[in-house]
């Protein structure tokens, strides 16, 4: 019984990290119809910025995370301006290739600048908390809490602020949004900024229990793509639900079925969901 609860918590932690990255990816897809393969690498850069702020400049963990968010917002905007904006009228294959190119560029740049070494963000919240026979570190609780807070904040931002609702409007109907006077360029930049901040937050939150290294982005992007396909490309509730489905499948599947077949189980669920609902759980019509 303790093991079950422990694994549910583990599934939640994993799901929270996936969720923050998946939300950004799905936002970008919803607005731009671009599969941003470089999104995992923005997560990676977020991890590095947090790491260097803390170790090189001795800045406090939370402040480092905020700085990382700001740096990543700028990087996200630059990515949109330099890579995706010039290609906005190109066929989707071109955007697809551009996204892969951006991904390779970021990983190679990280390798050249920071080396291939594994780094670990100093863990400050490393104490173990016992909750009903389950052992959790404080950092894992912070991850879950942080993800929930950011999800609520994103919801409020999109639904209850004027600037946030421009993103929603554009996701729903691009032409309609421009007709009512929404600046398409500005919304594109805003979306990339928000998505990058979420990715950076995921890295800052998980950095102290995971490791920071150039290939970390490629690992997470694979899983996050599965998530947004499960949830429906461009759907926000789909990304949230998909993340927790994958997190739980991984932790419970590895425990009660077989750790060797964990990925097989995850993909079997993907196939099952897609065969029942070919465009994902929360597919939007019309694309």
Partner 1 sequence: MKRKSIWLVLSLIVLLVVSGCGNKSTPTSSDPGASGDVKTVNIGYTGPLSGGGALFGKDVTEGLDLAVDEINAKGLMVNGEKYRINLIKLDDQYMPDKAATNARRLRTEFETPVIFVPHSGGAFALQQFNETDEFLIMAYTSEGKVAKTGNKLTVQMTTPYSLYPEVYSKKVMDKFGKKLALIPTSSQYGKDWSEAMIPAWEKLGGTIVANSPVDYNKEVDFNTYVSKALAANPDVLFVGGPSQPTAMVIKQARQLGFKGGFILMDQAKVEQMEGVIPLTDLEGAVCLTPVYLYDSPGAKPFVERFKAKYNGKVPAWESSKNYDNMMLLAKGIEKAGNVTDAAKILEGMRAVTPFNDPTITAHIPGIAEGGGSMTPGTGIMIENGQYGKQFSIPNPADTTKK
Q: Specify whether the CB–CB gap between 245 and 6 falls below 8 A.
A: no
- Of 175, 260, 271, 286, the one binding partner 1 (CB under 8 A) is 260
Per the listing, tokens 């099952």 go with 272
Per-residue burial over 63-86, b if 16 or more Cβ lie within 10 Å, else e, is: ebbbbbbebbbebbbebbeebbbe
Contact string (CB under 8 A) for partner 1, positions 213-252, x = contact:
xxxx-xxx-----------------------------xx-
Based on the number of CB atoms within 10 Å of its own CB, is 244 exposed (0-12), middle (13-18) or buried (19 or more)?
A: middle
Q: Could you tell me the CA-to-CA distances from 231 to 20, 143, 163, 225, 228 in Å, in that order?
A: 14, 22, 25, 10, 5
Site residues for partner 1, 141-170, by CB under 8 A, read: none
Check if the beta carbon of residue 253 is closer than 8 Å to that of residue 210. no
Which residue among 254, 270, 273, 281 contacts partner 1 (CB under 8 A)?
254
Task: Rule CB under 8 A: say whether 259 interacts with partner 1.
Answer: yes
Decide whether 6 or 279 has the Cβ nearer to partner 1.
6
Binding status of residue 175 toward partner 1 by CB under 8 A = no
Q: Shortest approach of partner 1 to residue 283 CB, angstroms? A: 28
* Residue 109 sits in the site that holds partner 1 (CB under 8 A): yes
Q: Give residues in contact with partner 1 (CB under 8 A).
A: 2-3, 6-7, 10-11, 13-14, 17, 74-75, 78, 81-82, 107-109, 111-118, 120, 126, 128, 135, 137, 140, 206, 209-211, 213-216, 218-220, 250-251, 254-255, 259-260
């Amino acid at each position: 019984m303790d093991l079950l609860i422990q694994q549910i918590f583990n599934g939640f932690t994993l799901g929270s990290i996936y969720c923050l990255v998946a939300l950004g990816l799905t936002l970008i897809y919803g607005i731009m119809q671009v599969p941003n393969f470089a999104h995992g690498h923005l997560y990676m850069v977020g991890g590095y910025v947090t790491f260097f702020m803390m170790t090189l400049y001795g800045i406090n963990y939370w402040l480092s995370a905020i700085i990382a968010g700001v740096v990543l917002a700028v990087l996200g905007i630059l990515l949109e301006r330099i890579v995706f904006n010039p290609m906005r009228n190109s066929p989707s294959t071109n955007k697809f290739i551009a996204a892969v190119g951006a991904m390779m560029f970021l990983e190679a740049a990280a390798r050249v600048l920071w080396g291939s070494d594994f780094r670990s963000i100093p863990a400050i919240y490393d104490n173990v908390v016992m909750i009903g026979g389950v052992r959790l570190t404080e950092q894992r609780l912070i991850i879950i809490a942080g993800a929930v807070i950011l999800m609520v904040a994103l919801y409020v931002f999109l639904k209850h602020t004027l600037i946030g609702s421009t993103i929603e409007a554009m996701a729903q109907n691009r032409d309609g949004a421009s007709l009512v006077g929404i600046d398409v360029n500005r919304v594109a930049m805003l979306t990339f900024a928000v998505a990058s901040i979420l990715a950076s937050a995921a890295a800052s939150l998980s950095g102290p229990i995971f490791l920071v290294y150039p290939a970390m982005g490629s690992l997470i992007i694979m899983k996050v793509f599965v998530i947004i396909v499960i949830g429906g490309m461009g759907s926000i509730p789909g990304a949230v639900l998909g993340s927790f489905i994958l997190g739980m499948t991984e932790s419970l599947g590895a425990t009660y079925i077989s750790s060797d077949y964990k990925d097989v189980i995850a993909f079997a669920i993907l196939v099952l969901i897609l065969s029942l609902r070919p465009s994902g759980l929360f597919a939007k019509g019309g694309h």
